[in-house]
Amino acid sequence: MKKRFINSTRRALRLGWKNFYRESGLSFVAVFVLMITISIAVLLFLLSGVVEIIISDIEQKADITIDFQTTIPEERILELKEDLEDNFEVNNIEYISRDEAMTIFIQRFGDRRSLMESLEEVDNPFPASLNISADDSFVYREIADYLERDHGGMIYSIDFANREEIIAGIFTATENIRRGGLIVAIILSIVAISLVYNTIKLAIYGLREEIKVMRLVGSSNLFIRSSFIVQGALVGCFAAFTSLVALSLLGFLIPQTYNITLEVNLYEYFLEMLPIVVALQFAVGFLMGVGSSLVVVGRYLK
Amino acid sequence: MIFFNNITKIYPPYFTKKENIVLKDISFKVEKGEFVSIVGRSGAGKTTLFNIFLGDEKPTKGDVFFDGQNIHKLSAGKACLLRRRIGTIFQDYKLLPTKTVYENIAYAMEVTGASDKDVERYVPEVLDAVGLVKQALHFPHQISGGEKQRTAIARALIHDPEVILADEPTGDLDPYHTREVLKLLLKLNSSGTTVILATHDKEIVNELGRRVITLKDSKIVGDSQQGRFIL
Q: How confident is the model at residue B231 (pLDDT cuts 50, 70, 90)?
A: low
- Per-residue pLDDT at B139: 96
Considering only the beta carbons, identify the residue of A18, A209, A220 that sits closest to B80.
A220
The verdict on a CB contact (< 8 Å) between A7 and B113 is yes
Q: DSSP readout, B101-142?
A: HHHHHHHHHHTTT--HHHHHHHHHHHHHHTT-STTTT--GGG
B81, closest residue in chain A (CA to CA): A218
Min Cα separation B49/chain A (Å):
14
Query: Could you give the CA distance from residue B114 to residue A217 in angstroms, rounded to a whole number?
Result: 14
B96 contacts chain A (CB < 8 A):
yes
- Taking each helix axis from N to C end, the angle separating A113-121 and A98-109, rounded to the nearest 10 degrees, works out to 150
Q: How far apart are CA A103 and CA A126, in angstroms?
A: 10
Instruction: Give the minimum alpha-carbon distance from A11 to chain B in angstroms, rounded to a whole number.
Output: 8
- Contact residues, A window 187-226, toward B, CB-based 8 Å cutoff: 209-210, 212-221, 223
CA distance A15 to A226: 9
Cβ within 8 Å, pair A212-B56: yes
pLDDT tens-digit readout, A136-189: 777 888 888 888 888 888 888 887 756 667 777 777 877 787 788 788 878 887
Query: In chain A, which residues have their Cβ closer than 8 Å to the Cβ of B99?
Result: 18
- Average pLDDT (B158-166) is 94
Q: Are A280 and A189 in contact (CB under 8 A)?
A: no
Exposure pattern of B164-194 as b/e (b: 16+ CB <10 Å)?
A: bbbbbbbbbbeeebbebbbebbeebbeeebb
Sign of CA dihedral A206, A208, A209, A214: positive
Per-residue pLDDT tens for A38-94? Answer: 888 888 888 777 777 777 777 667 788 889 888 888 899 999 899 988 888 888 889
pLDDT, position A255: 59
Q: Which of A7, A212, A220 lies closest to B77 in CB terms? A: A220
CA distance A179 to chain B (A): 48
3-state SS of B47-105 is HHHHHHHHCCCCCCEEEEEECCEEHHHCCHHHHHHHHCCEEEECCCCCCCCCCCHHHHH
Report the alpha-carbon distance of residue B231 to residue B219 in Å, rounded: 13
